[in-house]
Chain A
């Protein structure tokens, strides 16, 4: 069973360009989470999605950032008009369920390292 896949692993964009980060959850997982990690910092939650629905986007910046998880295909985190401050590692995680009688662990992908020049 393949783990969470993210691509690209490294992405370089110039200021003002768009960045598209892709995440394929583990097989059988229908919950996807995106996190951002700045150097020397812990991960910060951005958005939680289920198929075709955004459940919680409380960590998403109000502008330029969007996320989707279509019925078919990977989840996409899209950053428009990137700025240098967007440079970070972006991690995707997936889980089988959320809530219920236990807390399912989240499985993380290897991350996409975005560099804005």
Chain B
């Protein structure tokens, strides 16, 4: 299973763009990169998933370079409510269990 490395914490202000980078040097050909968000006292929530290049949805964008050894979650114009822990996961089509690290704690201030 590919191990992921991401910053423990990040700070931002409302209205800024936040980019959280995750390293996954041992990613395999069939692996997908997935990001989850977790608020205190809640279960994680799926944000976005990608395989290569760029993926965008109504919440975030995911940038994946050609070698796929890293990925960057981009949150445009964050608000206070984006304060949460963000987890980067790598999983393959046959994968079942999600392997969570400690995630990145994003703190957004006014």
Contacts and interface: CB of A to CB of B under 8 A. Distances in A.
Describe B's contact surface by its main secondary structure: loop
B54 interface: no
Interface in B72-110: 87, 91-103
A42 B34 contact: no
A40 B8 CA distance: 11
Contact of B95 (A43, A103, A108, A111): A103
Nearest to B92: A103
Interface residues of B, number: 23
Contact of B96 (A42, A56, A91, A110): A56
A90 B50 CA distance: 28
Nearest to A105: B46
Given A105-B46, A111-B43, 12 more contacts: A35-B100, A43-B44, A43-B100, A44-B100, A45-B97, A48-B96, A56-B96, A91-B44, A103-B92, A106-B98, A108-B43, A110-B42
Interface residues of A, number: 32
13 contacts: A4-B43, A33-B98, A35-B98, A42-B101, A42-B103, A45-B99, A56-B97, A91-B44, A93-B43, A99-B93, A105-B49, A106-B98, A109-B43
Contacts of B43: 4, 91, 93, 108-111
Interface of A: 4, 31, 33, 35, 40-45, 48, 55-56, 58-59, 89, 91, 93, 98-103, 105-111, 113
A62 to B, nearest CB: 17
B45 interface: yes
B4 to A, nearest CB: 10
Contacts of A107: 46
A59 B97 contact: yes
B3 to A, nearest CB: 12
B41 interface: yes
A42 B102 CA distance: 5
A103 B87 contact: no
